[in-house]
Structure 1
């Protein structure tokens, strides 16, 4: 939740190493992971294990990788009853349960499991298994029959990818590097096609430059729209950079980043690195007091820095 709410966090990678656990809260958490993926990119790595409940959570990420020796799967449900009545007798112990409700003492370890109790527990295990199978099928885009056919087996490395339970085999470091490239690519503004392809190669002579003058090959309205769109993109990028610097407590750096032509992703990364360096050198204290505009909870839109940037980038 903290990562989702932090504007300096562009995406989330889940580093999973777990044999699984109980069903309580498992599917709720998995659904929250999928909801988070709708707000920011979320990838996961089975490093070194994501079995059972851990797989239910990991498969909810946008992409799931497994290490070469790592494993995923165990898409099943298990319940155990221990009958220690024989041991109790050997120890000279006899337990008497006083209950209200005929089934209250169904799963006591001090008595053999009754047929009715066994049937009820099996029905619940089957119900949870059905939920698990449906969840994995939905998250991984697989047929439910294919998921059920795994029979709760464990799948390792390339075998997991071939079964469709993982997107590939990679180390955590490799996934982090690819994730960084993915974030940079998704944040890079894309330009719409300016004209339909003619099948002929376009040759540029000299140094092509971007100007506000419409190209002779474009209509006046189309050229004006492209210029307006370019201005909007510049304004939005500059405002986003100013707000990031304000939130990070260094509004004075906004002009520096904008003048250098840095992208929003580059600024975010630079601020994160600066904050990490500041944490490592806690003995260093800034000699400049922050203005109230950088105080927690302040509205970035009310900042004079953001206002100045808006005025600058919207100036004709």
Structure 2
């Protein structure tokens, strides 16, 4: 019966584990790994692990061990396989965050993965806590599946050159064997046919596949956010369920840099200012309350990707910078608006002055003697162009000559018929002859370089004859 319960536990859970580890756990549950009693296995493996991970503090750095299979609660599986419960891990992490003597936290990971149940809650706790203190995942052996989910939630992932990392995905495994003479009957309620899925049927397998894929979606989305990369990059470059070793994991963007545990402790404890190993990933840092916060940026990242990484890894700093940036932007926009307005006003004034000067010059360019008053009026009205002024001057010139000839033709002398001289002694005026004589005078003066109007020539002729 104990064996049956153990197998039911394995089959009822979704696991984020490499297939080989899941097979070993199944073999242990079936007593197939080694003949003998269950206690013999634990005796062979040495001291049994405590329910909570071992935690030690060095130079203000809390080391929280994440070893073996990860499950939600401590159980007999920890005693057999070694392991970590997220229940105990959460308590250890919270205690380290709240301890004023602890300046940074290292999750010291060597785990093939484990149970999905409770894992997302643990990863979220890590992700939300890294704003309070620097939390670094150090991978010295394995950080696969469930273990990598938690590692990605840390502020930074540091990996040993020989360590293994990845296996992003979920799995549900089943092994069907005869009941060996024992028969078990279950009757499922009519409205709950999916309560007992049969993976040996197409429908049952499809239903299980949907559950596994849904869990994988949560896993991939979490890794994408935690590592500050696009979901498509996780799908394409993070192994598709496979794993990478050391530098290759860094190159793929799944870890931030190579390093050693002792070097990391020295760095976080303030005994060493730089990491022991250089990496291909670019790491910037921001300062907050006297401590250094790492900002991990993929090589060749765009400005938008840098902003997204800052928002993901240090949301409080991002919010503060964004608020400052918004205020600075508003100030800059207002200053730019005022500057542009002043510049535009000056430019408009200059253009207006130039245009008005050009207009006035064009008006004076078409002036004629005898029309000075009209020219001045047109120049000062602020709207008449040179062409319009010329038209008005020509019209005035024509009207002036016509009016003079009309007035001259209607004098008393011109009203007397057949007489060469009026009673007043004035000679009669021949309008046509006068006009011809005036035109001749205008042409003659023009030949000399003098410019006179028809009306002026008429006055000059009449003045000479009076």
* 1:142 counterpart SS class: coil
2:196 to 105, 113, 134: 105
Superposed counterparts of 1:1-316, under 5 Å: 1-84=94-177, 87-88=178-179, 91-100=180-189, 101-107=192-198, 113-149=200-236, 150-181=239-270, 188=290
Deviation at 1:183, TM superposition (A): 9.8
Distance 1:182 1:113 in 2: 59
Distance 2:240 2:247 in 1: 19
TM-score w.r.t. structure 1 length?
0.54
Distance 2:228 2:263 in 1: 24
Deviation at 1:103, TM superposition (A): 2.8
Q: Deviations over 1:154-209 (max 9, x none)?
A: 1111011001111111111111112223998866499xxxxxxxxxxxxxxxxxxx
Deviation at 1:104, TM superposition (A): 2.9
Asked if 2 retains the 8 angstrom alpha-carbon contact of 1:11 and 1:183, the reply is no
Q: Deviations over 1:91-149 (max 9, x none)?
A: 33443222223233324xxxx62222111110111111111111111111222112112
Asked if 1 retains the 8 angstrom alpha-carbon contact of 2:107 and 2:137, the reply is yes
Deviation at 1:54, TM superposition (A): 0.5
Distance 1:52 1:104 in 2: 27
Asked if 2 retains the 8 angstrom alpha-carbon contact of 1:10 and 1:183, the reply is no
Asked if 2 retains the 8 angstrom alpha-carbon contact of 1:52 and 1:73, the reply is yes
Q: Deviations over 1:234-263 (max 9, x none)?
A: xxxxxxxxxxxxxxxxxxxxxxxxxxxxxx
Distance 1:189 1:36 in 2: 15
Asked if 2 retains the 8 angstrom alpha-carbon contact of 1:76 and 1:129, the reply is yes
Unmatched segments (≥5 aa) in structure 2 = 1-93, 274-286, 293-466
* 2:113 counterpart SS class: coil
Distance 1:183 1:5 in 2: 25
TM-score w.r.t. structure 2 length?
0.37
Between 1 and 2, higher relative CO (CA 8 Å, sep ≥ 6) is seen in 1
Unmatched segments (≥5 aa) in structure 1 = 191-316
Asked if 2 retains the 8 angstrom alpha-carbon contact of 1:47 and 1:70, the reply is yes
